Amino acid sequence: MSCCPFDLRDYFFEELEATQRRDVETHLQACAGCRTEIEGLRMARQALLRLPDQEMPRGIAFVSDPVLDPGWAGRLWSGARQWGFAAAMMLAVLFFGLWMSSRTEARLVQKIAAMEASHAAEMRDVEQAYRMVVAQMNEFYRREAEVRPAAFRQ
Amino acid sequence: MIFREVEDRDLVLAARKGNVDAFNRLVSRWEKRVYNYLARLVRDREDAFDLSQETFLKAYRHLPRLEDVDRFPQWLFRIAHNQAFSQFRRERPEVEAPVERAGGQAIAVGGRGIFPQELELAVADALEQLSAEQRETVMLKVYQGFKFDEIAQIQSCPVSTVKSRLYAAFDLLKNVLTPVA
């Protein structure tokens, strides 16, 4: 059981606040046992730190590979942007469909009007021809009526 | 004129916008530390290199998910930790919890006449005697300088567990690496 006011190991690993550190340091000046404990920890850490860092066999540079770079198309199609893009595309398709539909309808109306106009002109021609035929027939019968009584009279 | 070195957070923010060069700079800053952490943890240089590559690839892909850009180092080591322990579970389950050799053989690292190579071997042997979790905690505290709460995040465990792992590891290391009086 340590006689130190705080855990010596927390002090050693620098996890105590400034005031707590000062209390431990004051205690260490008077306590040989705790100094020995700290010295053991220090030597163990020193030994660990003498283990040299290992060099990497080669550098990690794969992220510069353009294959992994999403590029402008990939960036466009990422995160929230993809939903915005999809929504914009759907709206564009919808508006295009509506525009095409209204255009077709206008064309149909135009075609029907032209057909109706053509039909009315034809009807007018037929009516005119009919009237001419009727007038000619009337004229024929009128002349016949004038000629026949005279013949009977002869 | 004041020159301010570009901080990790600036590079992270740039990388999140698709700047590959910014991420490359992060890689060059952190690759050696991540590699050494993994090399000491998995004790195989090739495995450590492969895991380092996977760690940075995963970090690159998941960078948009990093909530606090100021905690990039902890997040990166968390990924490395997951990579290493996934490999332990996948390939070498016996490495995950090696049997601790209680009361390991004392090695006179502080004695006179010890050569650097011998010291290196002694330390490597001492680290071998720790469990994977204890060894990792020593790596993160002694070599990487993380605070207890940061290590707790990396290892996904309470701070009390971090402390008990580190203190148990140091009790063992003190015994093994104690200089002969």
Domains of chain B as residue ranges with CATH = 1-96 (1.10.1740.10), 98-181 (1.10.10.10)
Please enumerate residues of A whose Cβ is less than 8 A from a Cβ of B. Answer: 9-10, 13, 15, 40-41, 43-45, 47-54, 56-64, 68-70, 75, 79
Distance between A38 CA and the closest CA of chain B, angstroms: 11
- From CA A100, how far away is CA A91, in angstroms rounded? 14
User: Judged by CB atoms within 8 Å, which residues 135-174 of B form the interface with A?
Assistant: 138, 141-143, 147-148, 163, 166-167, 170, 173-174
Query: CA-based angle B125:B128:B134, to the nearest 5?
Result: 130
| d(C-alpha B169, C-alpha B107), whole Å | 16
Kindly determine whether residue B177 and residue A54, on different chains, have CB atoms separated by under 8 Å. no
Query: How confident is residue A92, by pLDDT bands cut at 50, 70 and 90?
Result: very high
Task: Indicate the residue of A9, A49, A68 with minimum beta-carbon distance to B142.
Answer: A49
pLDDT tier for residue A147 given thresholds of 50, 70 and 90: confident
User: What is the amino acid identity at position B177?
Assistant: L
> Cβ neighbours of residue A48 under 8 Å, at least 6 residues apart?
B123, B127, B138, B142, B143, B173, B177
Give A81 to chain B, closest Cα distance, Å: 12
Q: How confident is the model at residue B123 (pLDDT cuts 50, 70, 90)?
A: confident
In this predicted structure, what is the pLDDT of residue B181? Answer: 29
Angle at alpha carbon of residue B125, lines to B120 and B129, rounded to 5°: 145
- Does B86 contact chain A (CB < 8 Å)? no
Q: Spell out the domain ranges in chain A.
A: 1-51
- DSSP codes, A4-21: SSS-HHHHHTT-S-HHHH
Q: What pLDDT was estimated at residue A122? A: 92
| In the predicted structure, residue B97 carries a pLDDT above the cut 60 | no
**Tokens 């465990």 sit on residue:** B157
- Indicate the pTM of the whole model: 0.63
Give the model's confidence band at B101: pLDDT under 50 very low, under 70 low, under 90 confident, else very high: very low
- Neighboring chain A residues of B21 at a CB cutoff of 8 Å: 64
CA distance A113 to chain B (A): 59
Q: How confident is the model at residue B93 (pLDDT cuts 50, 70, 90)?
A: low
Are the C-beta atoms of residues B35 and B49 closer than 8 Å to each other? yes
Q: Specify the pLDDT at position B114.
A: 55
Mean pLDDT of B77-91: 90
Assess B58–A contact: CB distance below 8 Å, yes or no.
no
Q: Which residue of B has its CA nearest to A38?
A: B174
Q: What is the pLDDT of residues B51-60, one digit of tens each?
A: 999 999 999 9
Prediction ipTM score: 0.76
